[in-house]
Amino acid sequence: MNSFFKYVNFPVIFNGTQLLPPASGINYVPWAIVGFIFQYLIRRRHFPWWTKYNYVLSAALDSGLAISVIIIFFALQYPEHGTIGKNTILSWWGNTVSFTGADGRGVPVIQLPVGETFGPKQ
C-alpha cells in the first residue's frame, strides 16, 4: 500500500488542533505552511542543513511566540485593568465601531407588535 494516507495520523491532527487558539484560518495556515516547508521540502532536499538548523528554528519560533504574547499582554491588557480602548492610546475607530451600530447596541431592525411571533401562526 503506497498511499499518502498511511503517513497521516488523523487522531493526532484533530487532537492537536484542539490546543490551538480559537480556531480560524489565520491560526492554522501559518503553522501548516511552515510545517510543510521545513518538514517536507527542506528535509527532503537539504537534509544536512535541516538536521543542523531545524531545532534552532523550532526554538526561535517558540521564543518569538512567547515574547510576542508578553508584548501583546502589556500593550493591550495591562493598561487600566484590561480596558482596551477606554482612556488609553489604543482608543481608535477599530475598537469602537462595533458598538455604534444597531447590532452593537442590541436594537432590532423590526419590532414585533404585542402578541405577534415569528413563524407560522397556529
Same domain, yes or no, for 58 and 91?
Answer: yes
53-92 pLDDT, tens digit per residue, is: 999 988 998 899 899 988 887 777 666 665 665 655 566 7
Find, among 53, 15, 19, the residue nearest to 37 by Cα.
53
48 pLDDT more than 90: yes
On whether residue 109 sits in a domain, the answer given is no
Mean pLDDT throughout 14-34? 74
The per-residue pLDDT for 64 is 93
35-46 pLDDT, tens digit per residue, is: 899 989 999 999
Same domain, yes or no, for 65 and 33?
Answer: no
Which tops the pLDDT comparison, 89 or 97? 97
Q: Kindly provide the b/e burial profile for residues 108-117, where b requires at least 16 CB atoms within 10 angstroms of the residue's own CB.
A: eeeeeeeeee
Same domain, yes or no, for 95 and 56?
Answer: yes
**Total tally of structural domains belonging to the chain:** 2
Same domain, yes or no, for 16 and 39?
Answer: yes
State which residues form the domain around 8. Answer: 1-45
